[in-house]
Structure 1
């Protein structure tokens, strides 16, 4: 499966905000390392947003602005923990407020577990995430759902897109439409 990455920076503010792509290769690393790379890609303290997608699996957003700490949100932390970008998501708090780590079976393969019992207590990486009656894992997103709130995408909308969209590209396009960068994002695909 392929990855898609884009780095975007706004020019202007409010309704007059235009987004442009920033030419930078996103290397896997910690949030601080990625934040430093994003800050170095622009000349001032404006926000910089990285959009990452793993085809048919998950999307992630990474934002930094000036000296503000890096904010990260991922739609499926369990799947993302098995990706090339795993270091970026390693210490994110889960929807329940606890770190998400995919458990591994005897062969070292991810078994889809998050290390959280249904009541939210940590259990050394052996319990499954809460599941709905249909057996679908719920609330596997992690990170800061408020990272786009001041730009126009509320935490509620971001979580809804993370939990309801089967296609990560559709979710990021919808985010792009809300913020005004959908055309730029699609031109990069």
Structure 2
């Protein structure tokens, strides 16, 4: 079971809308939907979760490229909506992306790689091999941990360390930090 909502920032706070994922077939569809709910091209945050297995955050700021974070890429990659996010972050077969050229984890030169540290503590080589076998492609394995930009909500009140530590009802905790609890609960 999935839950998804869009939080659009306005000058008076946040507005929430329930997102019907049945009409969302690609990440582009989700981004277009987010942009259509934006007020004056302000920030829209798309929140998706699957029964506490994983959650994803997509931040859209006007016409800028979206920023994406997924709490557990291996779990998300096994679901239709989660795979939209992980495919974008890892690069799909249709578009070759050099991961070394992307700042997927939000670290700066000289900073410790947050995603690699998380993986060391929560996955084993067998987990990575199993994820690779599931994909059946021999391509880069999907990490059994967070993937993307954990700093995408830093300026909105959800620090990257807080985002990486979330579990359980993560979307409610994010909404609380954003000051959007009431509007999120109204569409839940």
Distance 1:45 1:128 in 2: 33
- For residue 9 of structure 1, report the CA deviation from its aligned partner: 0.8
**1:34-88 CA deviation, whole Å, 9 max, x = no partner?**
2222112234210011111101311111110111111111111111101121122
Q: Following superposition of structure 1 onto structure 2, how do residues 100-139 of structure 1 map, counting pairs within 5 Å?
A: 113-115=130-132, 124-125=138-139
User: How does the TM-score come out when normalised to structure 2?
Assistant: 0.68
Q: Following superposition of structure 1 onto structure 2, how do residues 40-189 of structure 1 map, counting pairs within 5 Å?
A: 40-85=36-81, 86-92=83-89, 93=104, 95-96=115-116, 113-115=130-132, 124-125=138-139, 140-161=145-166, 165=167, 167=168, 170-189=169-188
State the number of aligned residues: 149
Distance 2:173 2:182 in 1: 11
Are the counterparts in 2 of residues 9 and 48 from structure 1 also a CA contact under 8 Å? yes
Distance 1:149 1:43 in 2: 21
User: How does the TM-score come out when normalised to structure 1?
Assistant: 0.68
**Higher helix content, 1 or 2:** 2
Q: Which moved more, 1:2-11 or 1:84-93?
A: 84-93
Distance 1:74 1:28 in 2: 18
Are the counterparts in 1 of residues 8 and 44 from structure 2 also a CA contact under 8 Å? yes
User: 1:99: which partner in 2?
Assistant: none
Are the counterparts in 2 of residues 60 and 75 from structure 1 also a CA contact under 8 Å? yes
SS at structure 1 position matched to 2:66: strand
User: 1:29: which partner in 2?
Assistant: 26
- For residue 33 of structure 1, report the CA deviation from its aligned partner: 3.6
- The unaligned stretches of length 5 or more in structure 2 are 90-103, 106-114, 117-126
Q: 1:111 to 1:160 in 2, by over 3 A?
A: closer
